[in-house]
Structure 1
Amino acid sequence: MAWTLPPWALLLLLAGGIALLLLLVIKAKLHAFLALLVVSVGVGLAAGIRPTDLPAVLEAGMGETLGEIAIIVALGAMLGRVMQESGAAEVLSGRLLAAFSEKRAPLAVGLTALIFGVPVFFDVGFIILLPLIYAVAQRSGRSLISIALPAVGGLAIMHAVLPPHPGPVAAAGLLGAGLGWVTIMGLVCGLPAWFIGAYLFGIKVGDRLDTPVPAQLVAEAREQSGRAGGTAGQGGADGGGAARAPSFAVTLAVMLLPVLMIMMNTFADTVLPDGGVQSALRFIGSPVIALTVATLLSFWLLGLRGGFSMDRLEKAASASLGPVALVLLVTGAGGVFGAVLESTGAGEALADLLGETSLPVVVLAFLIATALRVALGSKTVAIVTTAPIVAPLIAEAGLSQPETALVVVAVAAGGTVLSHVNDSGFWLFNRYMDIDIRTTLKSWTLMETFMGGTAFAIAAALSLVLSVT
C-alpha cells in the first residue's frame, strides 16, 4: 500500500506532520478535527499510500476508534445532563458542607466537584458549581481561589483520567486498555493528585493571594448555571422542572454506579475462574451496559420520580449530545491519524527509535503528551494525538492490562500539565475569578501542573513495581 521508506525518512515525515498540525491549529486557527484530517492525508500521501487506497484507511481509522467510544461518551453526556437538571450538585454540596466545618469548606466543595465530575464534563461542571464556589467563599470569608482551586481541580482531574470522559476513553481504545483498569488506575493516581495539587496547594496559594469574590460576576454566574443545568427545582405543570430534588443516597448511588459496574468487569477477569458468574459480571460490567443501566436509572430515579416528564427528559438527552459531537469528531480524527501511522510504518519507526532511549513507555507517553499539551492547549486533542504515537511502543513492550492503563494515565497527566494561554480552561478560570494573567499562572497553571505531575509520578512508580513483579 505504501512505499518502503527507510526509518529515518518515516521519522522525518512524522515530525513534519506534527509540525504541520501545530501550524494549522496554532497559526491558521483551523479546527483540530480538520487539522488532524489534513495532516493524516498529507502524511499518508507523502509516505506513498495510493490515493485510491487512502480513503479506506481514513474511514477504517475513524470507524474503529469510534465504535465503542461514541456510545460511551454519548451515554455519559446524557447521564451528566440529567444529573445537572435534577439538582444533584446542590444535594451533594449541601450534604458535604453540612458534614464539614467552615474551616474545611474547600474540602467539602472539592469533594462535591470530584463526585459531580465523574459523569459531567469540565466546562459544564465549572459553570454549574460557580454559584456554590462564590457563596461558600463569601460565607467563609476565605479567599475565592482557596475555594475555587479544589473545586475546579476535582472537575479537571476527573475529566482527564476517568471514563466516561472522552480523553481517557479515547486513549484506552487506541492503546487497547480495558476501561475497568483505566478506571482503577485513574482513581489510584488521580485522587492523590487532586489532594496534593488542588486541595493542599489550592488552600495554601489561595489564602496567600487573598482574592475577593467578584460581585459583578455573581449574578452572571447564577444565570449561566441555570442555563447549563436547566430549570431544576422550579416545577411546573408540564413537567418542565423537578418537583423535588433527589436524596443524597440516590444521587451518590446513580453517580458512582457506572464506575462500580465497570470495575466489576475487571474484578471478574482478574479473580474469578471462567464460568457463568464471570460471564455475568463481564456482561454487567461492560462499559456500554454499565452506562446504559446508569443512564436509564437516572431517567427514572432523578427524572421521573423528581417530577420530570418524559418529554423533558428526551429534550435534555438530546441537548446533551450537541457538545459531544465536536469531541467525538476530534477523537475519531485522532484514530484516523493513528491508522495512517500504522499503514505507513511511521509508528513502528518511532517505536524503534524511542525504544533505543531505554526510557520506559510510561515516561515517553507523558513527555510526548506534555509537549503536545503545551503546543496545542487542548487536553483532549493532546491525549488523542499522543495515543496513536505511543501505541506501537505498547505492542513492542508487551505490556499487561494494568501497565497499559498506567500509560493511559501518563498520557492524561501529560495532557494536564502546563495549562497556559492557549487553553480554554485557563481563560474560563481567569474570567470567573476576575484575576490577571499572572495570578492565573500562579494559581490555575501551577495547580494543573502539580496535579498532572503527581498523577504521572504515581503512575510511573506503579509501572516500575509491576514491571519487576
Structure 2
Amino acid sequence: MTGLGVETVQHLAAAAGDPITSAGDGRLGFAVLAGIAVIVLLITRLKTHAFLALTVGSLALGSLAGAPPAKTIASFTAGLGSTVAGVGVLIALGAILGRLLADSGGADEIVDTILARAKGRAMPWAMVVIASVIGLPLFFEVGIVLLIPVVLLVAKRGNYSLMRIGVPALAGLSVMHGLIPPHPGPLVAIDALDANLGVTLALGVLVAIPTVIIAGPLFSRYAARWVDIPAPAHMIPQRPQVDERHRPRFGATVFTVLLPVVLMLVKALVDIVVDDPANGVQKVTDVVGSPLIALLAAVLVGMFTLGRAAGFTRERLSATVEKSLAPIAGILLIVGAGGGFKQTLIDVGVGRMILDLSQDWAVPTLLLAWLIAVAIRLATGSATVATISAAGLVAPLAADLPTAQTALLVLAIGAGSLFFSHVNDAGFWLVKEYFGMSVGQTLKTWSMMETIISVTGLGFVMLLSLIL
C-alpha cells in the first residue's frame, strides 16, 4: 500500500502500457502464481529472510514471464529504489519522532491520558477514532510510524491484546487511504471519472464510518483470538529514565504528533479550494504540507517540545536520533524489496493482462469496477495502481451516470483496491515487521482485515446505489 503522489501514480499508469515481455496471458498468469509461490515457500518453509525471498521471487517472476534478465533486474531495482526513496525517508523521520516521543516520556503521557479516560471495551474504539483522524491526510506508511509507539505502549501498559488495539488503528488508516480524498488513489479516480469531489467525499464518509467499525473494533475481537501475541519487545518504547516533573505535557506532545497531520491537511484543503498551482498560498502549502517537510518539521519541533522539555542535552538528542535508525534497517530493505516485486509485476504486463481479460465480464457497473480493482490489487499489490487502472477501464461507463452514481463508482473502485493485501504489497511487510508477526499471522489479521474493508465497503456502496 505505498503512498504515491498523483503525478507519480499517473506516470506509473502510463508506463504500465509497455511491458518488458511479449508473453501471452497464460504464461503471465503462471509466472505470477509461481513468483508468489517462490516467495511464500522461501519464507515459510526455508525460513529465508523476506528481503532475499522477495528478490529471488522477483527474478523468478521475470524469468518465467520471458522477460530479459537485464530488464527484470532494472524493473526490480527501479521499484526498490522508488519505494525506499518515497517511503524510506518517511519511515526514518517517523522513527526519529517515535523515539523522541518515547525517550522523552511524551508517549507515556499520551498513553497514561488515554488509559485514564478510555478503559476496557472503549479502548479499541478510541484507537480507531484516533487512527481515522490522523489517517485522513496521511499516507498509510506515515500514519503507521506515527501510531506504532502509542499502539504498542497502550497494548503493553494496559495489558490489552496487541491485535485488539492494533487492528482498529490499522483499519482507520486503511479506510482513509482507500476511500477518502485527498489520498492520491481516490483523487486520480475522481479525475478519471469526472466525479464531483464534494459528493464523493460526503458519500465516502458515509461508507467509511460503518466499514471501519466492522473491520476495526468488531473484527479485532476475532483477530485477537486467532493471533494472540505480545507486542514485540524490540519495538516497544521502554519507559524512559526521566523525572516525571520534566515529562512533556499532554498538550505539547499532542501538538508535536499532530503537526505533520495539520500541515498535510492544510495542503489538501488549499489544493481543493484554491486549485491554482500559480497561487502563492498554494505554492507555500505544497512545500510545507508535503510528507517529507511536514515530518521533518515535526522532528525539529519535537527536539524542543519533547527532548528539551525532558531536559535532554544536545548529546542526548543526537544519541536518541542514532538509536532510532538502527532498528528500521531491516524494515526498509523488506519494504523496498516489496516495492521491487510490485514494479516487476507491473512491468511484465500483469495489470494490462487483467484489464484486457476483464473487458468481457458481463456484470453490473459497480461490481465490475470492484472486481477489476480486486484483480489488479491481487496481482500487483498496489492499492493506488489498482485504483487508477480500474478507473481508466470503467471511465467510459461513467459518462452517462448521474453525479451520485459516479461518486459511488469511485468508491467501489477504492474498496476493491484494498482487497486481501498479501506478499506483493509493501504494506503487508510493514505491518508484519512492526507487529512482529509471521507471514501466516499477518494473513489471518491484516490481510483478513483488508478483505473485510473491501467487501463491506462494496456492500454499503451497493446499498447507497439503491437509495440514490
Q: TM-score range by the shorter chain?
A: 0.5 to 0.7
2:34 corresponds to 1:16: yes
Residue 247 of structure 2 aligns to which amino acid in structure 1? A
TM-superposition CA deviations, 1:199-220 (whole Å, max 9, x none)? 45668999xx9xxxx9xx9xx9
Match of 2:289 in 1: 285
Match of 1:156 in 2: 170
2:262 corresponds to 1:260: yes
The change in CA–CA distance for 1:411 and 1:38 in structure 2 (over 3 A counts) is same
TM-superposition CA deviations, 1:103-123 (whole Å, max 9, x none)? x54325752686489454777
Of 271, 274, 287, the match for 2:273? 271
Question: How far apart are the structure 2 equivalents of 1:177 and 1:233?
Answer: 49
Question: How far apart are the structure 2 equivalents of 1:45 and 1:344?
Answer: 10
Question: How far apart are the structure 2 equivalents of 1:187 and 1:456?
Answer: 16
The change in CA–CA distance for 1:96 and 1:25 in structure 2 (over 3 A counts) is closer
Of 299, 302, 307, the match for 1:303? 307
Residue 94 of structure 1 aligns to which amino acid in structure 2? D
Question: Percent same amino acid among aligned pairs?
Answer: 24
Deviation at 1:250, TM superposition (A): 1.4
Match of 2:420 in 1: 414
Residue 415 of structure 1 aligns to which amino acid in structure 2? S
Question: How far apart are the structure 1 equivalents of 2:74 and 2:433?
Answer: 36
Match of 1:58 in 2: 76
Match of 2:46 in 1: 28
Contact kept in structure 1, 2:163 and 2:223, CA below 8 Å = no
Question: How far apart are the structure 1 equivalents of 2:50 and 2:260?
Answer: 30
2:98 corresponds to 1:80: yes
Contact kept in structure 1, 2:189 and 2:391, CA below 8 Å = no
Partner of 2:69: helix, strand, or coil?
Answer: coil
- Pairwise CA RMSD of aligned residues? 5.0
Contact kept in structure 2, 1:254 and 1:294, CA below 8 Å = yes
- Counterparts in 2 of 1:341-360, with a 5 A limit? 341-357=345-361, 358=363, 359-360=367-368
Of 98, 113, 126, the match for 1:111? 126
Contact kept in structure 2, 1:161 and 1:190, CA below 8 Å = yes
Normalised TM-score (structure 1): 0.66
Normalised TM-score (structure 2): 0.66
TM-superposition CA deviations, 1:33-92 (whole Å, max 9, x none)? 222221221222333333344433332222223322222222122212221223233322
Contact kept in structure 1, 2:106 and 2:247, CA below 8 Å = yes
Deviation at 1:292, TM superposition (A): 0.9
Question: How far apart are the structure 2 equivalents of 1:224 and 1:79?
Answer: 19
Question: How far apart are the structure 1 equivalents of 2:28 and 2:222?
Answer: 48
Contact kept in structure 2, 1:368 and 1:414, CA below 8 Å = no
TM-superposition CA deviations, 1:132-167 (whole Å, max 9, x none)? 313xxxxxxxxx66xx7653333433565678xxxx
Residue 271 of structure 2 aligns to which amino acid in structure 1? D
* Corresponding residue pairs, total: 399
Contact kept in structure 2, 1:154 and 1:198, CA below 8 Å = yes
Of 304, 321, 333, the match for 2:325? 321
Match of 1:133 in 2: 158
Question: How far apart are the structure 1 equivalents of 2:246 and 2:414?
Answer: 40
Match of 1:244 in 2: 246
The change in CA–CA distance for 1:8 and 1:194 in structure 2 (over 3 A counts) is closer
Question: How far apart are the structure 1 equivalents of 2:437 and 2:31?
Answer: 38
